[in-house]
């Protein structure tokens, strides 16, 4: 006996066929839209176009859910045949969706095994001047993490994801930090780039001073501190407390350390020289999380 057909599934399949005929099909790797998307691997072109790449089904779904301004979606014929994905594509303007061959998608992709979907997204407004790093100068963020020259995109993306998980109010990125729109950072953020408040500042020391002026404690994470993260967390319950994480190789700059409230560390054994920046940031965020109860 044959299985009864699923009318809802059949309707989705028919929708996919109709939509596939409506969308533009691209088979040339030199197509202008394809070349522009492929160029976004470089920061220079991301800055010029004010666009960045989101690769994979999850990131595309996160971009749609967040209401991000999606410029183009490049999707293989096979991937576009998925009913759930097809319904999301249907919500976009017709000219935004491009059905591409596998070789075309591979030219844009930064992954070894592309999932069949890549979109270009308009950059978010995450750049502010030093005096606007928080909305109310008399009430600084309760929990913030400052990144002083954290240059690895994977670390920056992972810290974004962790900050969202632990309820950190804000990430503040100073000079020398990796671009949050770097494909590795976007991928490591797992979509939290669309939700986690992140701002960039031109002068980290001035930003630390501004936070302290507003009443926050700003602690520099260093190896030679006497105060431990656990001791800081015990005293931080009813305070605005921020932590600065330094560059992977050189730590926190002397200028930033000089204006911080003090220094704090994570006790480690003598067998290890230091912790990865993202791991260190995660430990501080876990200890200082706002949702302990």
pLDDT tens-digit series, residues 275-293:
999 999 999 999 988 655 4
Q: What is the C-alpha R_g of the chain?
A: 22
Mean pLDDT for the stretch of residues 178-187: 96
pLDDT tens-digit series, residues 102-134:
999 999 999 988 899 999 999 986 544 333 444
pLDDT at position 4 is 46
Architecture of domain 130-288: 3-Layer(aba) Sandwich (3.40)
Q: What is the DSSP string of 11-72?
A: HHHHHHHHHHHHSEEE--TT-HHHHHHHHTTSHHHHHHHTEEEEESHHHHHHHHHHT--EEE
Q: Where are the domains of the chain?
A: 7-122, 130-288
pLDDT at position 271 is 87
Q: Specify the CATH superfamily of domain 7-122.
A: Ribosomal protein L30/S12 (3.30.1330.30)
Q: Residue 239: CA atoms inside 13 Å, Cβ hemisphere, count?
A: 17
Contact assessment for residue 51 and residue 121, using Cβ atoms and an 8 Å cutoff: yes
Using 50, 70 and 90 to split pLDDT, how confident is the model at 237? confident
């Amino acid at each position: 006996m044959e299985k009864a057909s699923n009318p809802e599934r059949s309707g989705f399949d028919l929708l996919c066929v109709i939509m596939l005929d409506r969308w533009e099909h691209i088979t040339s790797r030199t197509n202008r839209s394809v070349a522009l998307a492929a160029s976004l691997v470089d920061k220079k072109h991301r800055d010029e176009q004010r666009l960045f790449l989101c690769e994979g089904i999850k990131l595309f779904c996160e971009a749609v859910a967040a209401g991000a301004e999606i410029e183009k979606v490049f999707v293989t014929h096979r991937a576009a045949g998925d009913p759930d994905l097809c319904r999301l594509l249907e919500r976009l303007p017709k000219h935004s969706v491009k059905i591409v061959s596998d070789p075309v998608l591979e030219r844009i992709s930064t992954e070894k095994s592309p999932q069949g979907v890549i979109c270009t997204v308009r950059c978010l407004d995450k750049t502010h001047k030093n005096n606007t790093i928080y909305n109310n100068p008399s009430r600084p963020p309760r929990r913030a993490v400052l990144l002083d020259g954290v240059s690895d995109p994977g670390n920056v993306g992972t810290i974004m994801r962790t900050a969202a998980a632990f309820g950190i109010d804000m990430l503040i990125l100073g000079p020398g930090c990796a671009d949050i729109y770097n494909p590795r950072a976007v991928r490591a953020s797992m979509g939290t780039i669309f939700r986690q408040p992140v701002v960039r500042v031109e002068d980290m020391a001035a930003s630390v001073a501004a936070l302290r002026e507003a009443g926050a404690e700003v602690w520099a994470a260093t190896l030679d501190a006497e105060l431990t993260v656990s001791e800081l967390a015990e005293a931080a319950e009813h305070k605005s407390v921020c932590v600065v994480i330094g560059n992977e190789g050189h730590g926190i700059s002397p200028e930033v350390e000089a204006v911080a409230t003090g220094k704090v560390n994570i006790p480690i054994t003598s067998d290890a020289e230091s912790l990865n920046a993202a791991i260190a940031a995660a430990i501080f965020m876990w200890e200082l999380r706002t949702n302990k109860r």
